[in-house]
């Protein structure tokens, strides 16, 4: 009798295991790359978020395995979001069920071998538990479904549109957007989810960070457009400045100019006339194809001589060298892919948020972001070696046309 009972319990478990194995094989064949536990976990998370968040069916592209994401990206996603949720949880989420005991010193080789055999997945259990406990908590409420809001739905459509056209590496940002929407539903302070998403993505400088800026957010950035002009009294004597203070290039003859503290006398640079100590500001610059430098200089930054114009000396800039070498002048410098070299650069400053971002204004994509607590006035800074073609400060198109096909919901 006992044997029959055990057989009754074991058979369904065997069938479930076989079905799971077959499912994984099928997905592997469809994706033509090995699936790891973290990828399967995110597919399950997408299913759960679909149940929690009304009209978020875009996530179906993930759990039907139409989307592809590297294992490392999945692991980073899980660790990052577990940290966000754990920080928000009050009281702190207990990880006992999934917490792995630290290996004894004498067995560290065995533990390492275990991690290698498991593809490095065995240390992910605590992070996964944090995320799944959060989703279970949302689902257990009397009314578990969350309305994400029209802006979020339209941004999801926008992300899907760009992904299908190869402008996004994957749709994991769509999962993040839905997670933010669900988290925002719990918050007593109703913040704009789309702006939260933008800030989160721009603070990441990873190669697969989302570079595409959704239409509504791009218009919000452009709404901070400023009429920036060059300060001719700050321009290096080798630079020619146009009468409207909007153009500059290297001149063949050095000008006779009075010496002053705010003038660049080494590098071929000029500063903007107005400095900023608060608020949001945006300007665009047509840079051409030769070497250039754009960004901001702190009020205390020295402008004389040929000292390096880096974050150590009060400059937050992006620079192009030799026509292909694009880098952020941090210490050490942060090189950017050659494929990102722009012809027209958008510079966005949010002083209170401590954010200075650079965009390819033609492609409407993110290039790089500096994150810092600003404490002094910041001046736009411009540099060029062009002899024939001007570096030009252009007016920003405050309202860009939507790229979506058919009738536009944004305008």
In whole angstroms, what is the distance from residue 63 CA to residue 40 CA? 8
Q: What is the pLDDT of residue 240?
A: 93
pLDDT in tens, 9-58: 555 556 655 655 565 555 444 444 556 788 889 999 998 898 888 777 77
Query: Of 212, 247, 272, which residue is a domain's last?
Result: 212
Residue 207 has pLDDT above 50, yes or no: no
| CATH code of residue 342 | 2.60.120.920
Gap between the Cα atoms of 284 and 226, Å rounded = 9
> 319 pLDDT band (50/70/90 cuts)?
very high
Structure confidence at residue 404 (pLDDT): 44
Q: Tokens at residue 382, please?
A: 């411009």
Q: Both 240 and 203 in a single domain?
A: no
Both tokens of residue 345? Answer: 């650069």
**What does the DSSP assignment read for 177-207?**
HHHHHHHHHH-SS---HHHHHHHHHHT--ST
Low-confidence winner among 93-97, 255-259, 279-283 (lowest mean pLDDT): 93-97
| pLDDT surpassing 80 at residue 273 | yes
Task: Give the dihedral of Cα atoms 244, 248, 252, 257; nearest 10 deg.
Answer: 60
CA gap 295, 356 in Å, rounded: 8
Same domain, 309 and 359: yes
Domain identity same for 208 and 123: yes
The answer to whether the CB of 284 falls within 8 A of the CB of 367 is no
The reply to whether 284 and 208 lie within a common domain is: no
Q: How many angstroms separate the CA atoms of 265 and 39, rounded?
A: 55
| Mean pLDDT in residue range 140-152 | 83
Give me the pLDDT at residue 123, please: 75
Residues 195 and 341 in one domain: no
Instruction: Give the residue numbers spanning the domain of 289.
Output: 221-394
pLDDT on residue 406 = 42
Q: Are residues 228 and 305 in the same domain?
A: yes
pLDDT band at 251 (very low <50, low <70, confident <90, very high): confident
Confidence of residue 405 (pLDDT cuts 50, 70, 90): very low
Q: Which residue has the higher pLDDT, 358 or 167?
A: 358
**Strands of the sheet with 391-394, listed across from one edge:** 239-241, 247-250, 391-394, 280-286, 344-350, 355-360, 365-371
Helix 150-164 × helix 215-222 angle, to 10°: 110
Alpha carbons within 13 A on the beta-carbon side of 135 = 21
d(CA 63, CA 66): 8
Same domain, 78 and 206: yes
User: Is there a single domain that holds both residue 242 and residue 175?
Assistant: no
| 32 belongs to a structural domain | yes
Whole-number percent of the chain with pLDDT over 90 = 36
Count CB neighbours of 349 within 10 A: 24
What sign does the dihedral 170-174-177-179 (CA atoms) show? Answer: negative
Domains identified in the chain, total number: 2
Instruction: Please indicate, yes or no, if residue 10 is contained in any of the structural domains.
Output: no
For the chain, how big is the Rg over CA atoms in Å?
Answer: 26
Q: Which of 27-36, 277-286, 341-350 has the lowest mean pLDDT?
A: 27-36
**160 pLDDT above the threshold of 50:** yes
Is the preceding omega at residue 91 within 30 degrees of 0, hence cis? Answer: yes
- Identify whether 399 is part of a domain: no
> How would you label 197-219 residue by residue, b for 16+ Cβ within 10 Å and e otherwise?
bbebbbeeeeebbbbbbbbbbbb
- Residue 189's pLDDT is 61
pLDDT at 270: 97
- Strand pairing category for 269-271 and 247-250: unpaired
8 in any annotated domain: no
Note the pLDDT of residue 399: 53
Task: Give a yes or no: residue 238 inside a domain.
Answer: yes
119 and 33 fall within a common domain: yes
How confident is the model over 137-144, as a mean pLDDT? 82
For residue 211, pLDDT beyond 70: yes
Strand order in the sheet with 378-384: 269-271, 378-384, 292-298, 315-321, 325-328, 334-335
Asked, for residue 402, whether it belongs to a domain, the answer is no
pLDDT of residue 259: 80
What would the pLDDT profile of 389-399 be if each residue is shown by its tens digit? 899 999 886 55
Instruction: Work out the mean pLDDT of the chain and round it to a whole number.
Output: 80
- Helix intervals (H) in 54-124: 60-63, 71-88, 108-117
pLDDT of 8 > 60? The answer is: no
Q: Domain for residue 162, yes or no?
A: yes
Q: For residue 21, what pLDDT is reported?
A: 58
Are 369 and 203 in contact, with CB atoms under 8 Å apart?
A: yes
Q: What CA–CA distance (Å, rounded) separates 189 from 145?
A: 19
Same domain? For 99 and 162 the reply is: yes
pLDDT tens digits for range 84-139: 898 876 443 333 333 333 434 434 444 434 444 444 555 788 899 999 999 988 88
Residue 208 has pLDDT above 80, yes or no: no
Beta carbons within 10 angstroms of residue 337's beta carbon: 10
Same domain membership, residue 178 and residue 287: no
Residues in the chain: 411
pLDDT of 199 strictly over 90: no
- 55-62 average pLDDT score: 80
pLDDT at residue 327, rounded to an integer:
95
- SS3 per-residue string spanning 116-167: HHCCCCCCCHHHHHHHHHHHHHHHCCCCCCECCCHHHHHHHHHHHHHHHCCC
Give a yes or no: residue 42 inside a domain.
yes
Which pLDDT does position 122 carry in this prediction?
Answer: 57
Per-residue pLDDT at 382 exceeds 80: yes
H/E stretch holding 250 reads strand 247-250
DSSP state of 20: H
Confidence check: pLDDT of 224 > 70? yes
For the cut 50, the answer to whether the pLDDT of residue 312 exceeds it is yes
pLDDT above 80 for 294: yes
pLDDT band at 248 (very low <50, low <70, confident <90, very high): very high
End position of a domain, from candidates 189, 212, 235: 212
The pLDDT of residue 97 = 36
Stronger pLDDT, 195 or 262, i.e. the higher one: 262
Of the residues 145, 177, 212, the one at which a domain ends: 212
Residues 58 and 123 in one domain: yes
Strand partners, 357: 348, 369
Looking at residue 58, its pLDDT comes to 78
Question: What gap in Å lies between CA 55 and CA 59, rounded to an integer?
Answer: 10
Q: What is the pLDDT of residue 132?
A: 92
How far apart are alpha carbons 58 and 164 in whole angstroms? 12
């Amino acid at each position: 009798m006992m044997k029959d009972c055990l057989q009754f319990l074991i058979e369904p478990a065997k069938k479930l295991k076989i079905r799971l194995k077959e499912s994984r094989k099928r997905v592997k064949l469809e994706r033509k790359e090995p699936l790891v536990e973290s990828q399967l976990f995110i597919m399950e998370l997408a299913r759960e978020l679909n149940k929690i968040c009304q009209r978020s069916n875009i996530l179906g592209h993930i759990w039907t395995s139409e989307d592809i994401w590297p294992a490392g990206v999945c692991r980073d996603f899980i660790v990052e979001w577990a940290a966000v949720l754990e920080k928000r949880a009050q009281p702190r989420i207990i990880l006992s069920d999934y917490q792995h005991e630290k290996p004894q010193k004498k067995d560290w080789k065995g533990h390492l071998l275990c991690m290698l055999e498991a593809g490095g997945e065995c240390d992910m259990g605590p992070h996964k538990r944090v995320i799944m406990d959060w989703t279970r908590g949302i689902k257990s409420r009397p009314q578990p479904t969350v309305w994400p809001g029209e802006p979020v739905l339209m941004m999801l459509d926008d992300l899907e549109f760009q992904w299908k056209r190869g402008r996004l590496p994957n749709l994991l940002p769509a999962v993040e957007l839905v997670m933010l929407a669900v988290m925002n539903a719990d918050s007593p302070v109703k913040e704009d989810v789309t702006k939260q998403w933008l800030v989160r993505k721009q603070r990441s400088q990873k190669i697969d960070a989302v570079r595409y800026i959704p239409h509504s957010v791009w218009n919000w950035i452009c709404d901070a457009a400023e009429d920036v002009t060059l300060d001719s009294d700050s321009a290096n004597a080798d630079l020619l400045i146009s009468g409207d203070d909007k153009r500059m290039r290297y001149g063949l003859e050095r000008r006779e100019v009075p010496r002053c503290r705010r003038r660049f006398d080494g590098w071929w640079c000029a500063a903007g006339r107005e400095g900023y100590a608060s608020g949001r500001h945006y300007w665009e610059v047509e840079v051409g194809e030769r070497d250039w430098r754009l960004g901001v200089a702190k009020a205390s930054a020295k402008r004389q001589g040929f000292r390096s114009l880096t974050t150590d000396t009060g400059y937050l800039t992006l620079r192009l060298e030799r026509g292909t070498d694009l880098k952020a002048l941090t210490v050490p410098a942060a090189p950017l892919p050659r494929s990102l070299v722009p012809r027209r650069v958008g510079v966005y400053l949010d002083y209170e948020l401590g954010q200075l971002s650079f965009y390819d204004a033609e492609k409407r994509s993110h290039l790089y972001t500096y994150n810092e607590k600003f404490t002094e006035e910041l001046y736009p800074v411009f540099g060029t070696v062009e002899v024939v073609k001007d570096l030009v400060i252009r007016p920003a198109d405050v309202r860009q046309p939507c790229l979506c096909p058919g009738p536009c919901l944004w305008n």
